[in-house]
Amino acid sequence: MNKSLRNKFIVLACLVVGILVLDLVTKYVIDGMFEEGTGVSAIPGLFNIISVHNFGAAWGIFEGSQVMLIIMSLIFLGIFIWFFIVEKNKSWLFIVTFSFLFAGCLGNLYDRIVFGYVRDFIQFAFWQSFPIFNFADVFLTFGVIMFIIYLLIPLFKKEKQIADPNGKIVIEKMDNKDKNKDAEIKNDEVIINELSDLNEQKALENKQEISVEENVVEAVKDKQVEIVADSAEKQKKTSNDDENDKNKTAKKPKNATNPKTKNNNTKTKSKPQEKTDKSEKIQKDSKNSTKNQNKK
């Protein structure tokens, strides 16, 4: 239920209960204080309080026919309730009007069902021929006047011709206030649509920024993974090279010597041979020289 409609129902219930309490309590007090036909001047020149038991309607009409009056009251109550359910435009005027009519009718119906008459006590001091009445009658009278105003209000509204989708001309009743309200509602709708579009654009921009950031984060993660993989491969290669070197050194023989040491040995061996050859040449030369001397 709409919040405004709920508030209207609350006001309606409070008005109906308040009017019934005011009507029944005043009737009980006045009927207990004064005998029938006696009273006092409440406001001199304006109102008198006189206790009267009315067995009919206003001005004594339908006197003695309480059953018919009860049936008529129930019919009017049913009409009020039906109209309240059917009516879609439940304005504040309609709510107050319905509460006055409903509560006033209930107040007098209670008296007719319980006592067989209506307890009246208010009299105009300046118009004593006017029927004596009670608070239920007061609210019923104001309710009828307000109901007539409520029914006449649409007649004062301006008429506007509108073509419906079928091509027929429809007369729409509008006043300047309604036009201004429609314009304000349209402006509010335009503003709301613009704000919704802006919010959607901002949401799209935020999504795009988030997607870009996610892509950057994914790229950084991929690079980190590649760097880690490269470093792992390099470590594997270095470890494999170290293992190969170890295997090569393990396969070499223990007595193997370097070529440099071999050359040195050959050099050392060749030097005494040269010395021996020179000594042999000297000996030969000395022998030849001795032989030549002997021949001479």
Domain ranges of the chain: 3-156
How confident is the model over 233-256, as a mean pLDDT?
64
Catalytic residue among 120, 175, 241, 242: 120
pLDDT, position 263:
46
pLDDT per position as a tens digit, 105-157: 999 999 999 998 999 999 998 888 888 999 999 999 999 999 999 989 888 76
How confident is the model over 202-213, as a mean pLDDT?
77
Q: Is 182 a catalytic residue?
A: no
Q: With residue 161 as reference, give the H or E element that holds it.
A: strand 158-163
Q: Distances in Å between the alpha carbon of 227 and those of 213, 220, 237, 240?
A: 21, 10, 15, 20
Instruction: List the single range of 11-15, 32-36, 69-73, 207-211 with lowest mean pLDDT.
Output: 207-211
Q: Residue 141 and residue 101: Cα distance in Å, rounded?
A: 8
Catalytic residue among 137, 164, 178, 230: 137
Report which of residues 166 and 236 the model is more confident about. Answer: 236
Question: Dihedral (C-alpha) 35, 38, 41, 46: value to the nearest 10 degrees?
Answer: 110
Whether 262 has a pLDDT exceeding 50, the answer reads no
Q: What percent of the chain has pLDDT over 90?
A: 29
Report which of residues 5 and 1 the model is more confident about. Answer: 5
How confident is the model over 226-233, as a mean pLDDT?
73
Strands 169-174 and 158-163 turn out to be antiparallel
Please report which confidence band the pLDDT of residue 159 belongs to, taking 50, 70 and 90 as the band edges: low
**Cβ(132)–Cβ(93) below 8 Å:** no
What's the mean per-residue pLDDT of the chain? 77
pTM of the model: 0.53
Q: Is 120 a catalytic residue?
A: yes
**SS3 at position 182:** helix
Q: Which residue has the tokens 């009860």?
A: 70
